[in-house]
Amino acid sequence: MKLHDTLRAPNPRRVRWLMAEKGIGDIEIVQVDLLSGQHRTAEYRDKVGAPHVPALELDDGTCISESLAICRYLESLYPEPNLFGRDAREQAVIEMWTRRVEMYLATPMMLTVRFSHPALAALEAPRPEVAAYNREGAERYMKVLDRHLAGREFIAADRFTIADIVAVTGIDFGRLIKYRPPEEHGHLGRWLEACRARPAARAGLDA
């Protein structure tokens, strides 16, 4: 298999972190240069089906191009440590929180960076008002998550899961614009530092 990857984008970080948690080392990594538009070339689009990164290319030529779909596929091949749930109830709860943190936290943070970082103007014109709107939305949800994390170590289960990966990589992407979550969210800060301290976190956060 081959993983079409790019170092700084947030969604590929999810896959790299999951791979590191599971000790997956037998997938070839192929770097894609987003700023030069490599993901928009006819060759890439014909292979993947869309200008999306990451994309997992299977041995039979099938390409899976959504980060969570890739993570689910890898979970089925490498089931331990379990990150998506061991039974129907746990799977549903982890799915619920993964969707919440993606919609209300990770995506707004991505848009905050995308529409405000000068270097990303090669992908899309800066729109400060869009960046500000999304930052406000992300910070509203950080307040919700801070309350949820009171007395809990992780977001969705009694252990680290894909929900934590999605949330941390979303927040951490803000480092490109020197963003830091509000200091008054102590539970969020404690959880964030604990996740960042995990040995596998370097694969998803160092870029």
Per-residue model confidence (pLDDT) at position 9 = 87
Position 207 pLDDT exceeds 60: no
Per-residue model confidence (pLDDT) at position 149 = 98
The mean pLDDT of the chain is: 93
Element (H, E) at 141: helix 128-148
Confidence grade of residue 122 (pLDDT, cut at 50, 70, 90): low
Residues 6+ apart with CB under 8 A from 160: 21, 83, 154, 195, 198
Per-residue model confidence (pLDDT) at position 114 = 86
Question: Which segments within 36-92 are labelled E, that is strand?
Answer: 55-57, 63-64
Interval 162-196: pLDDT, tens? 999 999 999 999 988 899 999 999 999 999 999 99
Residues 6+ apart with CB under 8 A from 89: none
Chain region(s) in the chain for CATH 1.20.1050.10 = 88-201
CATH 3.30.70.1350 fits 2-77, yes or no: no
**Average of pLDDT values for 36-64?**
90
**Average of pLDDT values for 112-137?**
84
Chain region(s) in the chain for CATH 3.40.30.10 = 2-77
Strand order in the sheet with 2-5: 28-31, 2-5, 55-57, 63-64
Give the residues across from 2 on adjacent strands: 28, 57
Question: What φ, ψ does residue 22 adopt, rounded to 5°?
Answer: -95, -5
Determine how many CB atoms are found less than 10 A away from the CB of residue 182.
Answer: 11
Residues 6+ apart with CB under 8 A from 170: 10, 101, 102, 105, 106, 107, 109, 110, 138
Interval 55-88: pLDDT, tens? 999 999 999 999 999 999 999 999 999 999 999 9
Cis peptide, bond prior to residue 81, ω within 30 of zero? yes
What is the 8-class DSSP label of residue 13? Answer: H
Q: Which of 13-17, 124-128, 157-161, 188-192 has the lowest mean pLDDT?
A: 124-128
Confidence grade of residue 125 (pLDDT, cut at 50, 70, 90): confident
In the chain, the percentage of residues whose pLDDT exceeds 90 is 77
Under CATH, what is the fold of the domain 88-201? Glutathione S-transferase Yfyf (Class Pi); Chain A, domain 2 (1.20.1050)
pTM value?
0.93
